[in-house]
Chain A
């Protein structure tokens, strides 16, 4: 079960009075690139944190294939997590380590391979992201976009069967954005991973996704292919594709 289908059922989450997710249902198809789009503050990052168990739902289920995440034992959770790579929206790099040490951290921690092999893999990932010179740089000296790319490399380094990216191209220039999109596709090709990308980049969503899910007011308003989105009549979808305020009813 390297690249499972991920199915979320009836997910509810509130922070105080703020109801963020309201009975949300979403299916991330196995081995496909799923884009999750939606307004800022709409709960996309909160959804990813539920998929990785960093937040506990008020109610609802998260299924990886035939296993429910929150009912899994400690061991099982650990194994599930080892097969997941997550890019945090703000990178969440370890600032006590260098850029390169950040990338090899998961390999080092789980003793997944000998040190020289791990370094080789980290270097090649960094090279793909145009960061080959930064291996020994301190995290605090990196620019925002450089941090993001190091964090992407760290999410990819274990070659996980599930990849979650929270805004991988936000803050990157258009050339780098295209490179990162290509890298995501390439990682999917290489490992067959199930991929979810939270993004505000509608053009990328329309061009590289297998499926797009529009999050609106705590629910998935529309799941479909780029084609479905382009021909949709829903005002929220149209507004999203054109960037206009949604029209009143």
Chain B
């Protein structure tokens, strides 16, 4: 499986859910170079999921544009695939069928589907469960199936919306490492939305903090650490503390400061 990443350029993105309600976020600009894993951190309700749904093409922004390698996103596509907070698998299907469902939508040949599905299942190490019904899997295994279901599409961009928050600490930690390793090996981009600072430090090349009302990017930090990243590593802890400081600062963030930052 060879996947190429993409240059992401978000410009002036503004969203309001109803024409008369307040803006969720206002004029967000964000760029991410090919192959980068970008984390967006922010408090609950600041609009992270909304932003990600728009990038996935599942929601239309009120204003602004998102371009991948210069091409605008105007709907869902196998090139940008979202992985949700919960696996949302189809319970009447086996693991294999769930993983391959996106390829059947794309009318790929049986042989292509089979070989790509097998490969994706191997990537998430679920070979022994390929024929199991997904209802017989643990929460962590189910989320692996959801990951394989996204990876099988060979996306240029994988969108992750708090993908592991429902899992126990051990499973979460191992999946965080796995997803990063797979992304780095295959070369696709990640945009990860989270309110877990550890997750951002373990998984991302760069983290941005989203805050305010309406929300915007208020701070960014390079996570320039060698792989694999270990929570106990002093370098990781230092960056974590730094990110935590910025996050706390962002929590007290208010409008005058936004003006200062913009100006």
The reply to whether chain A is a binding partner of chain B is no
What is B's interface to A at a CB cutoff of 8 Å? none
